[in-house]
Structure 1
Amino acid sequence: MIALALLAAALTTGDAPSPPQRHGEHMQHQAPAADATPPEHHPPQPTDAPDSSAHAHHAGAMDAPSPADPACPPEHAAMGHCTPKPAGTMPNAAGPHPASPFPPAVTPPSPGSVQPTYADRIWGHDAMAAARATMRREHGGMAFSQVMLDLAEVQLRGGRDRYRWDGAFWYGGDINRLTLKTEGDGAFGGSTDAEVQALYSRAIGPYFNLQAGVRQDIATGPDRTYATVGVEGLAPYWFDVEGALFLSNKGELLARIEGYYDQRITQRLVLQPRAEINLSAQRVPVRQLGSGVTDAELGLRLRYEIAREFAPYVGMSWERQLGGTARYARSVGDDAGGFGVVAGIRVWF
């Protein structure tokens, strides 16, 4: 009986260690305090107070209390059981605002034009500068050339057979070019009329070039030299067009408009309608030219491209001198024009 009384007294005074407490899925052991006071001396705790001891290893930056919070005393913070809240946190209506676990977002400055100089660290600046210059030439900075003989044909007109040519050579890049043009015609066993143009060509858009230079006529009668300005290019619906003005050293003003269209029937067979009109602002008796429209030509040619660079063709052509020019031709016994069958080749390289 004495032993049972002593055991009851010990349990009443709280000298024996308390059993472990379970909170959710985690167990937390509480060590006995040296100067523990009886339970009746502790004030009652509110039911919604946070239990820091039960959630010690759950505490993170999102739900960490501030250092002034009694639930995170300094000794617990030193042992890593909880994380003190940084000072200066602004409270809100729901309580202290938790600190973000992520660093503040920093917006980088807008990058400027970055020079591609990373390879210089390995190959050196001089070697890479030469390589970049080569790349610039290969992507639009190189000079090219082309010879195009668009017409080289014989015109059969029932005993009044003639020949004709029309071609060009150009050298340069995408923007600036030197262009040489030549065209003419003549009668077999008779005279030949020819012209040569030397032009500077400047791109004024994706599809058109502005041209300026000189033209020299080589014909029967007095020769003429002309200042030339014109435009050529690719019109909508893939029409190749060209227009030019010619001002002679005698003050005579001429003009020319021409165009053609390549209609592909197959990959090798191409039908080309073609038109050309020549005009004069005044009469030029020494060249047997009247004012207005001096002559016109309409043609239809069918070519077969054995290769893109070589294509024989056949077709029909109608040419006519008009107005005062036709009267000059009849006065000397020449024909003013008519229909003819043509055969020739188109070559470029």
Structure 2
Amino acid sequence: MNISIVSSPSRDKSKIYYYLSWGRGAGQRKATGIFTFSKPKDQLQKNHNKEALAILEMKRSQMVLDRQSIASGYVPEYKLKSNFLDYYNEFVKANRRSTNRHLQNSMSAFKEFLGRDFISPGEINENLCERFRNYLLDNYNGETPSGYFTRFKKLIRAATKDGYFKNNPAEEIEAKTGKNKKIKEILSVEEYTKLMKAPCLNYEVKKAFIFSLYSGLRWAEVKKLQWESIKDDSITVVQSKTGNRLQIPLHPVLKEVIGERGSGLIFKLPTAEGANKVLSKWVKDCGIEKHITWHSARHSFSVLLQRNNVDVATVAGLLGHTTSKYVQQTYKRYIQNSAVEAIFTLPE
């Protein structure tokens, strides 16, 4: 197809605008948005004209390539992202779903794996894909490595169709489930009581941790919790991890913990590292020989509710999970871990 450059002067004749034309029929002319000065007055305008005409010729060449590649399966190189991370980002935006964060998280993990902000499509080969799969297995537990790599493979499959790869470099690499390195510790009912009765070096940390034990909220959510989030007998928060709005009934213990209503932040807390140090000493002073972190509160909340026969769907809802799958898997790990203890509760 012959594509020609057509010019048209402005009304005052000071500028010339350009179009790409491939016929005289309707819709066979496209404005380029490029113009030159009819009579350049200085070197600046002369330079503008020179660069504008160069860009114009490049646009014409690109359109010729586009027209010639129709139905050929060939993708002109200029259409491909030079940084594959840009393509990854656009793919995530186009396929994002609020109920599934694995695609977004797979991109974050891939960036961590690379340790840089640029990678060309030519560097994406089978060896790199396999190393990324192994990186996920080394750094994540449970279903997470499989979930992230499955989304990565979906991305690579789409990129192959879009012309980035002649052959899919990840096609024969299997997504694998990781092994749980260590089951996080949880607190028993008796240990809940011990902590509430025992003194703590930082009273704000104590109040906030008890709040997490009775609400299942994460550190990031408790840290920024404001009085306006407490209404009547419930807590309304936007989850830090998912962005979902969550409403949790307010346990009577929490009403005592937070005391009289104020304004602004409910808790005045140190950094996460500082809070965990205070928590560690508080737990140790109580005689609890477990490695308890702030996230242990959320796990304890989940497991103790289920041990009290609260159905999995309700627990999942309280935690803000969209499905009960993760809650069930987590609970099974704790039940298996306490199997020996359970056996020895039987009468002799």
Q: TM-score range by the shorter chain?
A: under 0.3
Give the TM-score normalised by structure 2.
Answer: 0.17
User: Is the radius of gyration larger for structure 1 or structure 2?
Assistant: 1
Give the TM-score normalised by structure 1.
Answer: 0.17
Larger RCO (CA under 8 A, 6+ residues apart): 2
The structure in which a higher percent of residues are strand is 1
The structure in which a higher percent of residues are helix is 2
